[in-house]
Amino acid sequence: MISKEHIIKRFISYVTIDTESDPNSETTPSTEKQWVLANKLVEELKAIGMQEVSIDDNAYIMATLRSNVEYEVPTIGFISHFDTSPDFTGANVKPQIIENYNGKDIILNKAEDIVLSPDYFEDLLLYKGQTLITTDGTTLLGADDKAGICEIVSAMEYLIKRPEIKHGTIKVGFTPDEEIGRGAHKFDVQKFGADWAYTMDGSQIGELEYENFNAASTLVKIKGKIVHPGYAKDKMINSMYIATEFINSLPRLETPEHTEGYQGFFHLHDIKGNVEETTLQYIIRDHDIGHFEARKEVMVKLTNELNSQYDKEVITIEIKDQYFNMREQVEPVMHIVDIAEEAMKQLEIKPIIKPIRGGTDGSQLSYMGLPCPNIFAGGHNFHGRYEYVPVESMIKATEVICKIAELVALKHKR
């Protein structure tokens, strides 16, 4: 039985270390403070009895739990990231433990009137009677993805202490900078040495995902011409007005707030401007590769049309692919998804198989030769003050890891 108190203590020891990543940094990891937790994890992996524990110059951590069976079993891996999102501060996290949640409003911060309410976050009602860990309303929590790390470490510790549970070789990997899209960039798949792996980076209990968005970032620059407004007739070009035309020419309902499921979108996430120059930063997302390419073409054609309209190149556009739908890499080896689904069912967890409306290290890793579906870690409301995680979900995720390891060994028993 996984100890509830042990899980809570381990998780809190992780989230109280600030590991926020920085998209404007060119180093790996992008922030020095990520090393604090990285070095702690290395020592912890050694302490619980893992072998081949290593950390490289970019803070990528790997470790091995050797097989305890005499026959050949595929090597599997479990991966999570230790950075937290720069969308909201992760400094001075003060977790609150809510025992036996009663299904009502949770006061996160009385002084600032910050309330976590099931009236708005209906998923809370799934966890009545359970133990929740929340923020104090002033930071994110960091369950994304320190819950995943906690579950992997706890599962390895559990298997080490119980050699009667038979398993093949298991690899674990912890990465920096996933939240800024670089978590897999310097991951050494060959060194990791697994036949396939699972990222423990999903949300609600039961989530099992092997599809994600195709993704691109887009930088649009609009050049204007500043002239004294009193003498601006036929001379001034206001880049902000052209930017408004660009924005309004894209489909208004194909944005994150109006889409769900397999629907893609254009998302304007940053704008800076004055008369002389305005920059727009978009992300493009779609599960279907054809639709994805079409969305990129829409933005290029719009740029060309506006440039033609103004009879000069006032707009430049730069589109960079970020990652692709891992479904193409996972479907040929769907047995790895089936094993995770079977593990959940044996543990009386209802599998929720759905596409990720986002990305994951597993996407890039799948294209690097390591097929890597995503499994729930248990947290909700990531990247903000309303983030929370049920402890019981973390325990179940830990059990899923152990069960997958057991099933892989059983399926290859001779």
CATH number reported for the structural domain that contains residue 87 in this entry: 3.40.630.10
Contacts of 100 (CB under 8 A, 6+ apart): 129, 130, 131
CATH number reported for the structural domain that contains residue 315 in this entry: 3.30.70.360
**pLDDT, position 181:** 85
Q: Are residues 207 and 222 in the same domain?
A: no
Q: Are residues 205 and 179 in the same domain?
A: yes
Q: Are residues 298 and 399 in the same domain?
A: no
Q: Are residues 261 and 392 in the same domain?
A: no
Residue type, 193: G
User: Rounded to an integer, what distance in angstroms lies between the CA atom of residue 209 and that of residue 371?
Assistant: 12
Say which of 83, 145, 177, 211 is annotated catalytic: 83
**pLDDT, position 5:** 96
Say which of 20, 145, 151, 178 is annotated catalytic: 178
Q: Are residues 366 and 296 in the same domain?
A: no
Closest by CA position to 292, among listed 218, 183, 210, 367: 218
Q: Which domain holds residue 353?
A: 4-211+325-411
Q: What are phi and psi of 18, to 5 degrees?
A: -75, 120
In tens digits, the chain (414 residues) has pLDDT values of 789 999 999 999 999 999 999 999 999 999 999 999 999 999 999 999 999 999 999 999 999 999 999 999 999 999 999 999 999 999 999 999 999 999 999 999 999 999 999 999 999 999 999 999 999 999 999 999 999 999 999 999 999 999 999 999 999 999 999 999 889 999 999 999 999 999 999 999 999 999 999 999 999 999 999 999 999 998 999 999 999 999 999 999 999 999 999 999 999 999 999 999 999 999 999 999 999 999 999 999 999 999 999 878 999 999 999 889 999 999 999 999 999 999 999 999 999 999 999 888 899 999 999 999 999 999 999 999 999 999 999 999 999 999 999 999 999 887
* CA distance to 215, 245, 256, 289, 299, per residue, from 251 (Å): 18, 12, 12, 19, 11
Q: Are residues 386 and 284 in the same domain?
A: no
Q: Which residues, in sequence order, are bridge partners of residue 267? A: 283
User: Rounded to an integer, what distance in angstroms lies between the CA atom of residue 113 and that of residue 132?
Assistant: 19
The region, left, alpha or beta by phi > 0 then psi within -120 to 50, assigned to residue 288 is beta
Three-state SS for the chain is CCCHHHHHHHHHHHHCCCCECCCCCCCCCCCCCHHHHHHHHHHHHHHHCCEEEEECCCCCEEEEECCCCCCCCCCEEEEEECCECCCCCCCCCCCEEECCCCCCCEEEECCCCEEECCCCCHHHHHHCCCCEEECCCCCCCCHHHHHHHHHHHHHHHHHHHCCCCCCCCEEEEEECCHHHCCCCCCCCHHHHCCCEEEEEEECCCCEEECCCCEEEEEEEEEECECCCHHHCCCCCECHHHHHHHHHHHCCCCCCHHHCCCCCCEEEEEEEEECCCEEEEEEEEEECCHHHHHHHHHHHHHHHHHHHHHCCCCCEEEEEEEEECCCHHHHHHHCHHHHHHHHHHHHCCCCCEECCCCCCCHHHHHHHCCCCCCEEECCCECCCCCCCEEEHHHHHHHHHHHHHHHHHHHHHCCC
Of 323, 350, 375, which residue is a domain's last? 323
Report whether 267 contacts 274 (CB < 8 A). Answer: no
Q: Are residues 290 and 257 in the same domain?
A: yes
Q: Are residues 356 and 380 in the same domain?
A: yes
Q: Are residues 254 and 206 in the same domain?
A: no
Q: Are residues 370 and 309 in the same domain?
A: no
Of 323, 347, 362, which residue is a domain's last? 323
Q: How many domains is the chain built from?
A: 2
Q: Are residues 407 and 265 in the same domain?
A: no
**pLDDT, position 414:** 73
pTM of this structure: 0.90
Instruction: Verify whether residue 57 is a known catalytic residue.
Output: no
Sign for the pseudo-dihedral over CA of 176, 80, 94, 122: positive
Instruction: Verify whether residue 178 is a known catalytic residue.
Output: yes
Of 298, 323, 348, which residue is a domain's last? 323
Q: Are residues 75 and 199 in the same domain?
A: yes
